[in-house]
Structure 1
Amino acid sequence: MTINESQLLGMRAEMKDGGNPSSALGGWATDTPIKSIADVRNKLGVPEEFKGGKLFQIEFTVKPGVGTREGAVADMWDALDGVRLPGGGHQVNFMDKSPRTNPELYEVNMKSLRSLE
């Protein structure tokens, strides 16, 4: 999953307080290889207005019982840059029992965290 600095800070705060860092994850994920911010924008169609600033990639596991929808990423208009982002990657949307509502069903691998350039 691609997370921004705010989400990372939320994860670290949860861990410091003995909580589950999964509660700071978003509602969408991918198994498409993401190596750069350009991949986030182009393959995942994520405009800067949705996720801006410093971005990171982190891995996590979803336990059984989470309702999902999967499919191809559609193109998206980036209003800040005035360009169409092509999409085409694979996406998973957590429809039922999201990380925010049921963080116990998600296990974040904090050691997998890496910065995207």
Structure 2
Amino acid sequence: MDKREKIIKIRATDDEYSALMERSPKPRLAEWMREYCLGAKVPRANKVPNVDPALLRQLSGMGNNLNQIARAIHSQDWKPVDRVQIIAALSSLQRELNLMRLENAKDDS
């Protein structure tokens, strides 16, 4: 996809701007203007993919684990057993991510 490097500046009155905003079904006026004026659907670079809710729950739980680890690291009250637990938790997260990656690869095949 080509990078947008050209800038087009236009001046509008308050009424003109309001009219454009009312006509635009998009939250971004520039996106709507590209589609409307160019007559083509313009792909968005940051489109959010559809994700399985079970996967989101699993990722959320992993994020919570990472937050707990970060809190423990920042507390600096480290005992040898704490270090072992943190390393074990990080290893567990890595295994889970690898399993999820493998499952995703199977689904894409």
TM-score, normalised by the number of residues in structure 1: 0.20
More strand by proportion, 1 or 2? Answer: 1
Which has the greater radius of gyration?
2
TM-score, scaled relative to structure 2 = 0.21
Which fold has the larger relative contact order, with Cα–Cα distance below 8 Å and residues 6 or more apart in sequence?
Answer: 1
